[in-house]
Amino acid sequence: MSRTRIKICGLTREADVDAAVEAGADAIGLVFYDKSPRAVTVARAAELVRHLPPFVTPVGLFVNADASLIQDALQALPTLTLQFHGDESPQDCDRWNRPYLRAARMAPGFDLVDFAHRFSSAQAVLLDAFVEGYGGGGKVFDWSLLPPSVPSPVVLSGGLSAANVIDGVLKVRPWAVDVSSGVEVAKGLKDADKIRHFCNAVREADQLKIQAELESAKLATRR
């Protein structure tokens, strides 16, 4: 079983980037959406990314962005993975020929399987709560809305924290988890202790997954 990857999103300060790296995050999220309190400019994002060691991925979050903004971000941040949170079509996402995540706004009646098929070129589908506007608003969606299987890796997002991420990992079995408000002291200002506790909780969940699989395998051999 693969371990659950961790993305800390909405970073605006070098100290928070350092805290995410030290805690073992696999990726950091940079918000290029000027209506967000966590928004950064391309120039500021470049300063933050300079604090990343190799193999920690910067991810740029865009919402119905002008092509010029995405182009500027890709030029300044050559290793950037794209994340689309607006009304972008598959063609809008594919045109950049870059790895990308596509956010799905989960609500009753939403067909996630069809959505994943339409965005089959995405590295993963990011599951977030449906709220007015864009983004999940730090809210947890009803995980029972998820179908038994999805034809894409999924990133679980929406109101996660150290208090509920173990339950989320065990119930959803995502490829990765994405947290923002759950590790903050204020919007855009992360807390190093909360980041560390969140990452430790994800690792604890992975250990519980392994134990459950081993118990299941033992039971199977006795039958």
Q: What is the tens place of the pLDDT at every residue in 3-57?
A: 999 999 999 999 999 999 999 999 999 999 999 999 999 999 999 999 999 999 9
Please say if 93 is a catalytic residue: no
Mean pLDDT over 185-198 rounds to 96
| Residue 103 clears pLDDT 90, i.e. is over it | yes
Question: Which is catalytic among the residues 16, 26, 93, 128?
Answer: 128
pLDDT digits (tens, 9 = 90+) for 72-86: 999 999 999 999 999
pLDDT digits (tens, 9 = 90+) for 120-130: 999 999 999 88
Tell me the pTM: 0.94
pLDDT of residue 199: 98
Q: What is the distance between the alpha carbons of residues 178 and 208, in angstroms, rounded to a whole number?
A: 19
Could you give all domains of the chain from N- to C-terminal order, each with its CATH number?
5-222 (3.20.20.70)
Please say if 199 is a catalytic residue: no
At 19, the amino acid letter reads A
State what percent of residues in the chain have pLDDT above 70. Answer: 96
At 62, the amino acid letter reads F
pLDDT of residue 17: 98
Question: Which is catalytic among the residues 9, 26, 93, 199?
Answer: 9
The pairing of beta strand 176-179 with beta strand 27-31: unpaired
